[in-house]
Structure formats: C-alpha cells, structure tokens
Amino acid sequence: MEVAKTIESIRRLVGTARSRGKKIGLVPTMGALHIGHISLIEAAVKECDFVVVSIFVNPTQFVPGEDLEKYPRPLEADLKICRNAGVDAVFAPTPEQIYPGENLTWVNVEKLTEPLCGQFRPGHFRGVTTVCAKLFNIVAPDIAFFGQKDAQQAIVIKRMAADLNMPLEIVICPTVREPDGLAVSSRNQYLTAEQRKDAAYVYKSLQKCRQMIDAGIADTRKIAVEMRKILQQASSIKIEYVSIVDAETLQNIDRIAGKVLAAVAVGIGPARLIDNILVDAGKQ
C-alpha cells in the first residue's frame, strides 16, 4: 500500500493504475477509521481494481466552536486498517495541500443543504461539497463510496455530482451499527460509559418510528412526539432535531407516504451524534 501526502504523488499513483485499465474507487474519510469506514472500503475493494482512501480532517466543514482541534487523528492505526483491508493507496494530505491560500471558490448545493443539519451547522455542507469536489478532481475516481449514516451528506454529494456533470458514480453503503443499534462513529469515543448507554436511545427512537409506520400511523407529528419521548428517557441526551422528511427533497411531510427519511441529531456530553433510517412506506 502506498501513502501519498501530496496531490502530485496521489495523481501519479492513480494515473499509473488508470493507464493499466484499472477501475478507480475512492473512499473519502476524516480518519479515526472504524468498522463503518471498513464496510465502505470493502465495498470499494469488491467493485474496483484500485482503491484510494483519503484521510483528511477537513477544516472548512467544521463550524466555529466545533471539535476540529480535538478530532482524533490516529494516522498509524488508520494506515494499518487500510493495509489489512486491501487498500491500494492512502491519500493523507496536510490542510495546506488542500487549501494552499485563501479559498475563493466554493461549491454550494442549494435547498437540500438547508433543512436538518443545515439549520444547525451553517457552512458545513459547503465545506463538505467543496472538499469532495477537490478530492474528485484530484483522484478522478470512477466510483466514490459514502455512508448512509450521513444521509443528508449522501444526498447532497449525489446532487452535486449530477448537477455538475462529474464523471463518476456515487455509491451509498448501509449504516454499520453496534450490537445495541448505535451507529458506529468516530465521535462515539468522546462518550463516557453512562453517555454511551444513553446513546442507544437514538436508534431506539428511530425503531419506534419504523414500528409506527409499519402499524399504519401516517401522522408524522404524532410519530415525532413518540420519538422524542424515547430520547427523553436518556438524561444526557439534548435533542437538536427529530425530523421526518421526504427522502429525496428532505422537505418536512405531514403524512407518511412513499420514501421517507427519519433523522435525529442529538448532543450527548461533548459529542454531537446523528442517525437516520429510510422507510419505504409506499402509498398509504
């Protein structure tokens, strides 16, 4: 496995692979790799002949006051995980490589970035889309792999790629969970044992939503009230939002119909955790 720290070196490695007719896969990450990331890497290894994992804690997607400085950066452990997973090249640039001076060009996806996390993290998605556009231009993958865990991000990236005619496919992989249902996340390591127990209520609230939809309840307000009641059983949880939206437009819906995204964001101690489920309710 090669480790490239510069744009020039990753371009050279990918260029050689491409000239040999290899299909290039990219898994963009911020490092602190866990089984969620590994599932994306496995999907990439299965689909592609040359897999690049980028490890970059992207400063422009952090809102002032967030955890940019203390975000974990265990590079050596990450490289070992990549090596074991069959990655061909890791791209681990410095912030100066990606943002050499004042950045004057930004990619902004409208509308889809306004609800859900967009309300609480102003500028976050602009940072995500800009860095992904840069990574796509640098690596030029045939396929880029993202997780359903960050549902809004996945939809926004897909839309950016489509609207800007980017010549790649975006593949979304299912959310990997702990045995108690908690979505695996690099930020889970911020939690104390007590907070970690409370964190399981996030998925419990989403399961409640699924049960209510399965039982034929179509009033989203009613469902959200029950989801909130479950979250309130955990004393350390501070609810940011509980939303039931159209899975394509991300707009709020009054009644369950078609493809629905139920999404939750909470604060627990120092961590901000998000999770979601997709439910295809058909016509109700």
Residues labelled catalytic: 37
Sheet containing 237-246: give its strands across.
Answer: 237-246, 259-268, 271-280
- Say whether residue 149 binds ligand AMP (CB under 6 A): yes
For ligand AMP, give the closer residue by CB, 92 or 223.
92
Least Å distance, CB 15 to ligand AMP, is 25
Least Å distance, CB 173 to ligand AMP, is 6
- Interface residues for ligand AMP in 156-195 (CB under 6 A)? 173, 175-176, 183-186
For ligand AMP, give the closer residue by CB, 176 or 250.
176
- Say whether residue 141 binds ligand AMP (CB under 6 A): no
Nearest CA among 150, 145, 151, 152 for reference residue 168: 145
End-to-end CA distance of the chain: 51
For ligand AMP, give the closer residue by CB, 28 or 50.
28
Give CA–CA dist 122/167, Å, rounded: 28
The single residue among 93, 109, 147, 231 that binds ligand AMP, judged by CB under 6 A, is 147
Q: Please list the residues that pair with 143 across neighbouring strands.
A: 25, 169
Residue nearest to ligand AMP (CB): 147
Least Å distance, CB 34 to ligand AMP, is 7
- Say whether residue 134 binds ligand AMP (CB under 6 A): no
For ligand AMP, give the closer residue by CB, 145 or 224.
145
Angle at 118 between CA 251 and CA 140, to 5 degrees: 100
Determine the interface stretch with ligand AMP among 1-9, 37-45, 75-83, 97-105 (rule: CB under 6 A). 37-45
CA 166 to chain centre: 19
Least Å distance, CB 280 to ligand AMP, is 19
The single residue among 4, 29, 141, 212 that binds ligand AMP, judged by CB under 6 A, is 29
Contacts 24+ apart (CB under 8 A), 118-124: 118/152, 119/241, 120/240, 120/241, 120/265, 121/63, 121/66, 122/63, 123/60, 123/61, 123/63, 124/61, 124/62, 124/63
For ligand AMP, give the closer residue by CB, 173 or 223.
173
- Say whether residue 281 binds ligand AMP (CB under 6 A): no
- Say whether residue 40 binds ligand AMP (CB under 6 A): yes
Give CA–CA dist 260/247, Å, rounded: 5
Least Å distance, CB 279 to ligand AMP, is 18
For ligand AMP, give the closer residue by CB, 127 or 213.
127
Nearest CA among 60, 68, 184, 160 for reference residue 107: 160
Give CA–CA dist 100/32, Å, rounded: 24
| Site of interaction with ligand AMP (CB under 6 A) | 29-30, 36-37, 39-40, 146-147, 149-150, 173, 175-176, 183-186
